Structure 1
Amino acid sequence: MFFKSGKKNGFEGGGIVLFESVEEAMSGERALKAAEIENRLVAPPPELRRGCDLALEINLVEKPAVERLLRSRQAHFIDILPMKGDAELLQVVKVTDFGEALMVKAGNMKLTFDKTSGVVLNISGGGCPDIPYLHARMLGVPLEEAPRPKEMGRTLCALMLDRAYEQSLEIRKNGNG
């Protein structure tokens, strides 16, 4: 007899990898994905923040493998901790429906697109130096044709805009916008 968890894809989480900088968090995410180790980029609870406002959620049972892999790839991390008690990771992506448009908010970045055409109507938030450039490149372009923010930007704002972009594409693919 097998017992299944309530989670859909088997990703249990329970562990969090903390980083000093956004670049290190992004490097860690790429290294784990390349090794097919499940992880999610998250905002850690305030009491666990130690460097940057990004962390990776991992399956805690994979902690030794994650440590070995990150060290072997020189992906520097501060610590890998278990989530304690009822501490919850902060939701990184939120969606707001404005009727004819959807706004997808990831962290401090917002991407608004037309639900019918998929055209990017607005990008706002952040305050990072690469956002005006990304705004100029993406505004008025259908999501499916727009460039990936994380391929053109180098800041936390660009990374969060990329998360909003990914979620927007997923919404369009599923016919919800």
Structure 2
Amino acid sequence: MALANLFKRKASGPPASGRADRGLLVFEHTSEVIRAERLLKESGREIRVMGPPPEIQRGCDLVVEFPLMEKLDILRILDEAGTAPLESVPVTGPLLSPVDLFQVKDFGDHLMVRAANMKLTVDKKTRTIVNVSGGGCPDVPYIAARLIGRTLDEAPAPREIGHTLCGYALELAHAEMVRLCSS
């Protein structure tokens, strides 16, 4: 194997959580998590937004899981952008494993994906969004009205029309639903 290939980033997603080579970034506000996610993905980093383990719940209800070997570069990127985390915690055991944000429920003709407190349900045959529920943010009714009755391909991305934690969680559910319905 060529030496250059040893340092190439993998195209696949990040390794399974709970491994000693992962760390968690803890932020005060959800908007900081969203900004950090965008910055780090744009820089080619393999990160995931997850729910925090109970032992480190501070600030908002999300953490960023990242490759621990890239900690210094990641912290530099975030610091330069004015989005430094409250803390960086290595995943040292199963108690510090982040919680997956997604729950999937198959109802036969319909499939529901829950991300955090938001749920998106589609008709499996037509890929039409039949329900949006959850959350308590003021933009949820507007987002739901724009999505229900449209297919996954026709519906606008929730991040384009929502601006709250509920809109962000619905974007995650939408992206997961698209992934599940495409396989």
For residues 111 and 14 of structure 2, what CA distance do their matches in structure 1 show? 28
Structure 2 equivalent of residue 4 of structure 1: none
Q: Please show how residues 128-139 of structure 1 align to structure 2 within 5 Å.
A: 128-139=137-148
Q: 1:11 aligns with which of 11, 14, 28?
A: 14
Q: 1:107 aligns with which of 116, 125, 132?
A: 116
Residue type matched to 1:81 in 2? Answer: V
User: Which runs of no fewer than 5 residues in structure 1 stay unpaired?
Assistant: 2-7
**Deviations 1:80-138, CA, capped at 9 Å, x for gaps:** 11012222211101110000000011111000000000110000000111100000000
Structure 2 equivalent of residue 32 of structure 1: 40
Cα drift, residue 46 of structure 1: 1.4
Give the CA RMSD over aligned residues: 1.7
Structure 1 equivalent of residue 94 of structure 2: 86
Cα drift, residue 11 of structure 1: 2.8
Counterpart secondary structure, 1:53: coil
- The number of residue pairs the alignment matches comes to 169
Q: Does 1:123 align with 2:126?
A: no
For residues 165 and 153 of structure 2, what CA distance do their matches in structure 1 show? 22
Where does structure 1 differ by over 2 angstroms across 4 or more consecutive aligned residues?
8-13
Structure 2 equivalent of residue 147 of structure 1: 156
TM-score by length of 2: 0.88
Q: Does 1:76 align with 2:84?
A: yes
For residues 11 and 163 of structure 1, what CA distance do their matches in structure 2 show? 16
Contact 2:158 2:167 in 1 (8 A): yes
Identity of aligned residues (%): 41
Cα drift, residue 150 of structure 1: 1.2
TM-score by length of 1: 0.91
Structure 2 equivalent of residue 171 of structure 1: 180
Cα drift, residue 10 of structure 1: 7.2
Counterpart secondary structure, 1:132: helix
Counterpart secondary structure, 2:153: helix
TM-aligned CA distance change 1:149 to 1:32, over 3 Å: same
